[in-house]
Amino acid sequence: EAGVAQSPRYKIIEKRQSVAFWCNPISGHATLYWYQQILGQGPKLLIQFQNNGVVDDSQLPKDRFSAERLKGVDSTLKIQPAKLEDSAVYLCASSLGDSGGAKTQYFGPGTRLLVL
Amino acid sequence: GDSVTQMEGPVTLSEEAFLTINCTYTATGYPSLFWYVQYPGEGLQLLLKATKADDKGSNKGFEATYRKETTSFHLEKGSVQVSDSAVYFCALANQAGTALIFGKGTTLSVSS
């Protein structure tokens, strides 16, 4: 079974530029998550989708971050304009079914972003 | 709000030593608890989980028991190997079923 796919794996941009990350979840997984992992910290949720609807985006900096999940499959996370503090690894994860606490989340390899 | 606290690293051990990584949590209700592992150059992988009090999760020789009375989920392994060198994250998912809340991670380094 193919895992969660993410691209690109690495991205270097200058501050105030824009960047987009792509995620393809495991086939059949209805729930998709984007996490931000700053160096030395645990991942922190940015946004959670159930099919193509947003379940939780309370920690998404909406003035610069946006995300969509068209057709309830692939998802794109965008940052515009980027700030130095956005340098982090962006992780995509997916899980089966509706939002349930015990559902295992499967993570992609992440996109490492460096903002100069 | 809900949170996870795990011991600071790095933890440095010799091969075949006993491992404990402490994890405590604060949460309303009855969360599910997880240990994820991140090997060098790889993504996060689920190591084990427990969904209710007194449950024991186990995998690859690692174990952790959900202790509601002490709000803990400590990770243990009787004999570590060099291949266990990685970053270990404790996490919870609350009863509402929202996303995982992670601790800061503990780096384990095992030498032969």
pLDDT by residue (tens digit) across A19-33? 999 999 999 998 999
Minimum CA–CA partner of B90 in chain A: A42
Which tokens is B111 given? 């030498």
The label of the residue with tokens 């503990």 reads: B106
Structural contact between residues A32 and A25, judged by C-beta atoms closer than 8 angstroms: yes
Structural contact between residues B105 and A44, judged by C-beta atoms closer than 8 angstroms: no
- The verdict on a CB contact (< 8 Å) between B46 and A33 is no
Which amino acid is located at A28 in the chain?
Answer: G
Distance to chain A for B79, nearest Cα, Å = 26
- The verdict on a CB contact (< 8 Å) between A99 and B96 is yes
Nearest of B3, B4, B24, B9 to residue B73 by alpha carbon: B24
Which pLDDT score, from 0 to 100, does residue B101 have?
93
CA A86 to CA A96: how far, in whole Å? 29
Confidence of residue A72 (pLDDT cuts 50, 70, 90): confident
CA A94: distance to chain centroid?
A: 10
Read off the pLDDT of residues B38-51 as tens digits, 9 standing for 90 and up: 998 888 999 999 98
